[in-house]
Structure 1
Amino acid sequence: MKKINLENKTILVTGAAGFIGANLVLKLLHEVSRINIVGIDNMNDYYDVGIKEWRLEEIKTKADDNSTDSSWTFIKGDIADKEMVDKIFSQYHPDIVVNLAAQAGVRYSITNPDAYIHSNLIGFYNILEACRHSGDDSGKKVEHLVYASSSSVYGGNKKVPFSTDDKVDNPVSLYAATKKSNELMAHAYSKLYNIPSTGLRFFTVYGPAGRPDMAYFGFTNKLLKGETIKIFNYGNCRRDFTYIDDIVEGIYRVMQGAPDQKNGEDGLPIPPYAVYNIGGGRPENLLDFVDILQQELLNAGVLPKDYNFEAHKELVPMQSGDVPVTYADTTALERDYGYRPSVDLRTGLRNFAEWYKKFYID
């Protein structure tokens, strides 16, 4: 593994106004001296743009107050726009690229497939091509491409915990298929053009200012409106919830260690390529998760103390594209990068509930 010192580097973060992207930028601004961060996001309305704008304002405040002599540049744009991506690479010459821009969501992919082809395939292809040609005019090649994959690639895998050694050739949603395609595309480019790349399979990321389409956020919105929440598969689901700070810590560590570039016996490059799970490693029963969320919403004052939760819950069958369990085997990430998640579910949901109260109610 090649160690990379992030100081004095230029980092391109795509999806920088997204949940994970924005928190990664904040982490970099806090931790690293003299780092130049370029963020891109198309600011689409898949969910409340106000949350994305709030995240960007948090970044701007952090960048303005920064004592680490680092810089922050934001570009509103779409990675599916090849000309724009190429222009960013030619202007800023990123050392490290973290591709988090993607159309997310399993269920949305069933009704809006075009968005997934646009962002997850065409957009990622443009990033790969830009990395390939990154040294053509400047001699400064991208040192490491880190990109978002997803636990969705495991589909209906019945063996748990999920390992990156498992076969993942049977996706149950288009979203999962695009993420597996990203891994295959990255492998090809690593082999053909010797581009160090690391894919990260994220497991159910949650926390303050997260995505409103995620269950914990959607449940809170509905409960606050007095609507009924639907608990799928009659509550017989287990999810490996991963708190945002743990996810960002994992990405931060991976950025600093790129797969080695070396040749095989035939003199050709051995693909400098890796894929890791990044998750909590503690799958939680969905009913237990809902119970903890309820308690923390009461404690934070989001809902009144006498709220009747039982009257607002409905157990329903599994939805198309969903899977009954997700469970990350993160031993490889711990072995190679010392990564170990530390935030328990109650603490994470408490932080979310307190943020929600301030953002929507206070």
Structure 2
Amino acid sequence: MTDTHLEAEDEHAENAAGEPWRDAEIPDEDVALETDSVSKHYGSETAVENLSLRVREGELLTILGPSGCGKTTTLRLLAGLEAPSEGTVHIEGRRVADADAARPPNERNVGLVFQDFALFPHLSVAENVAYGIADASDEAQAGRVEELLDLVDLAGFEERDPSELSGGQQQRVALARALAPEPDVLLLDEPFSSLDVRLRVEMREELKRILSAAGVTAVSVTHDQEEALSLSDRVAVMHDGQLEQVGPPEAVFENPESRFVASFLGHAGFLSGNIGEETVETQVGPIPRTQLTGTVEPYVGAMVDVLVRPDDVALAPAVGEPDGFVTRRQYTGPSFVYDVELANGDRVRCRQNHTESYPVGSGVDLELVADHALAWYPTQS
């Protein structure tokens, strides 16, 4: 099928009876990119299923999930490197893909930054940046290259070869090259995976600054939750090809809507307990019902699992019969992180100051020290 098909389908979609899917949180006029019920099948395997997502103009949205969850396939569908089996993709209100036709990457006005940066080794830094604007005049190219190298703090590096640059500098060149044609959307595939730990932290802040200064809409994919939570305006958590939750980082972390999101983010543990009239009775003591999120009343008398993270629980040497035993400990420098198995089989993780040390096998007592609302889930049978 041709682009004419896509243009005709756009007109049909605008005039058809019945409203298409819409994300009420983002008004139509603010949407830079939208997928509507997008699925991607490879034979009998489904990589992405019924993905509906809106990205706001100027925001950085990160698709976060474990390996094999469908996040890279999603990015390839947005870029035009894959065509959807079902559903539609719109960029700046223009339909660029559906099940019958898909515009190639060079007709979508998207920028791409790959894991390995993919710089051209035979071109200088300036020539790499100018690669995507070859049709512009020499004067326009020179001006744009100068502007972008100044933006990414590489002014004066125009004649360098990529091999002469550090990993962080190469990433900045790759960003500048992707930004040169002024894309509607910038797509980043695991942008920090090839950098060492120190550089990753440094480049997160640099990327945030560069994207904010450029005012570009960006979608990134990663499996690194710290990266996603620290960098993004919103996070979209994926699992088994489907979106589990989308929202600001603090909302997704503090109020996970599914057990998977709770388990994936923040080294979760769960305390099982029975919901009573006033409290939830757990192995480490009662939790006030008022400390649980959401509506609890329908579950009175039922067993639930309360989400606790390492900072929510404190350890102490056992007095009498221990609450549980240390099964693993990890030294992180400022602290130890302990895995503790309770007498009823519950498993939690606890972070303690490095001055307090509990060997593996130690019997310990636990105290819930969380002073915030706690998410909970019906106990799985």
TM-score normalised to structure 2 length: 0.25
- Greater strand content: 2
Larger radius of gyration: 2
TM-score normalised to structure 1 length: 0.26
Q: Which gives a bigger RCO, structure 1 or 2 (Cα 8 Å, sep 6+)?
A: 1
